[in-house]
């Protein structure tokens, strides 16, 4: 993964490009078979409530955490939150397709479970060119849904904000601990970038817009290498980077083509110098992280070498004209 700014699971909840806009129907129009607890929704889904619990039903705008398994009617698993390692968490909105399960969710309450059959034809109506071969005409998608938790939107936002604040605090603690444990004597810029020149040079410094050739190895604070332009480092770390040419990365510095910590830090280096950058998430990948190795609010450590500068023609700043001092004659 370069330090740049910014058949899979067929989970129909995410397939918004296939959805047709359908008004939300009132639950009073649902057809219910009281004997076997089977419900036919207006859009054509057949819902079998397996476990029913007391409590308020899920409402529009609620945030629901639930586990779901999606299969074909040939029993092939297309998606499983259990295999993913964590449940799905979504905000309930007006249903746009039978396949988004929004009207199904609003039949359930916390800890309920249900089996759902969704006709594939209704999902791909008007979008037949998008129909995959494993969902032929007349086939069904089968869902097993288990509701874990229901939150109001306000409560869910408050919980998320509290979790993010805790992660921010944890990042600062981990960063300071890393510097102390490794006995690093670093300089800190006003933005929060910490850096250490490990090999100085007296050659020129780059200017914004120059193209730089940079060798680097990137690590997380726990020492995991997530990227490198150096073959020996990549092989030692067991990185799988098929087809990669191990050579210095070209960077047009100061133009936003790389993370902020790089843009700022590279302008501090001289051609031929080496440095260690300790880049907080505010200058890196922020609250989103990047890929499986860089989580939200992750401080990153880069060992870099500014191999070469390819300067562009920079405008020469005009000097202000020097005003001549004309002595004032004294009056006689």
Q: Token pair 């409530």 is at which residue?
A: 49
CB 151 within 8 A of CB 226: no
66 noted as active-site residue = no
Q: Token pair 């970038």 is at which residue?
A: 193
Instruction: Measure the CA–CA gap between 300 and 118, rounded to whole angstroms.
Output: 45
Catalytic residue among 178, 285, 294, 297: 285
CB 147 within 8 A of CB 64: yes
Catalytic residue among 66, 124, 195, 226: 226
Catalytic residue among 143, 216, 277, 297: 216
Catalytic residue among 39, 49, 58, 259: 259
216 noted as active-site residue = yes
36 noted as active-site residue = no
246 noted as active-site residue = no
DSSP 198-256: EE---SPPP-TT-EEEEEEEEEETT--EEEES-HHHHHHHT---TT---SPEEEETTTT
Tokens of 132: 């995959």
Catalytic residue among 124, 302, 303, 309: 302
Tokens of 225: 């290498």
259 noted as active-site residue = yes
At residue 260, the 3 state secondary structure works out as helix
Contacts of residue 283, defined as CB under 8 A and 6 or more positions apart, other chains included, come to 191, 192, 193, 259, 260, 261, 264
Angle at 44 between CA 42 and CA 46, to 5 degrees: 105
285 noted as active-site residue = yes
CA atoms within 13 A on the CB side of 35: 0
Catalytic residue among 210, 227, 233, 303: 227
Q: Which residues are catalytic?
A: 216, 226-227, 259, 285, 302
């Amino acid at each position: 993964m370069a330090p740049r700014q910014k058949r899979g699971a067929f989970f129909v909840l995410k397939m918004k490009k296939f959805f047709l806009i359908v008004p939300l129907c009132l639950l009073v129009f649902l057809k219910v078979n009281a004997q076997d607890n089977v419900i036919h929704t207006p859009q054509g889904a057949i819902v079998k409530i397996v476990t029913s619990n007391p409590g308020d039903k899920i409402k529009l705008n609620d945030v629901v955490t639930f586990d779901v398994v999606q299969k074909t009617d040939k029993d092939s698993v297309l998606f499983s939150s259990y295999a993913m390692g964590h449940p799905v968490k979504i905000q309930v909105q007006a249903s746009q397709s039978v396949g988004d399960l929004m009207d199904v969710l609003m039949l359930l309450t916390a800890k309920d479970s249900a089996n759902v059959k969704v006709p594939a034809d209704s999902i791909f109506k008007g979008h037949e060119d998008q129909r995959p071969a494993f969902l032929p005409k007349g086939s069904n998608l089968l869902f097993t849904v288990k509701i874990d938790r229901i939150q109001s939107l306000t409560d869910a936002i408050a919980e998320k904000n509290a979790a993010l604040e805790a992660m921010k605090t944890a990042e600062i603690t981990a960063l300071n601990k890393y510097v102390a444990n490794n006995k690093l004597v670093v300089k800190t810029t006003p933005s929060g970038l910490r850096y250490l020149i490990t090999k100085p040079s007296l050659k020129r410094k780059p200017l914004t817009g120059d193209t730089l050739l940079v060798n680097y190895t990137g690590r997380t604070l726990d020492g995991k290498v997530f990227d490198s332009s150096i073959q020996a480092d990549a092989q030692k770390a067991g990185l799988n980077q098929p087809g990669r040419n191990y050579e210095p990365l070209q960077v047009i510095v100061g133009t936003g083509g790389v993370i902020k910590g790089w843009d700022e830090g590279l302008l501090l280096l001289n051609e031929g110098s080496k440095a260690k950058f300790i880049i907080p998430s505010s200058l890196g990948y922020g609250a989103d992280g990047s890929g499986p190795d860089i989580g939200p609010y992750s401080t990153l450590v880069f060992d870099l070498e500014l191999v070469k500068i390819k300067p562009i023609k920079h405008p020469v700043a005009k000097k202000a004209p020097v005003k001549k001092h004309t002595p004032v004659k004294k009056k006689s």
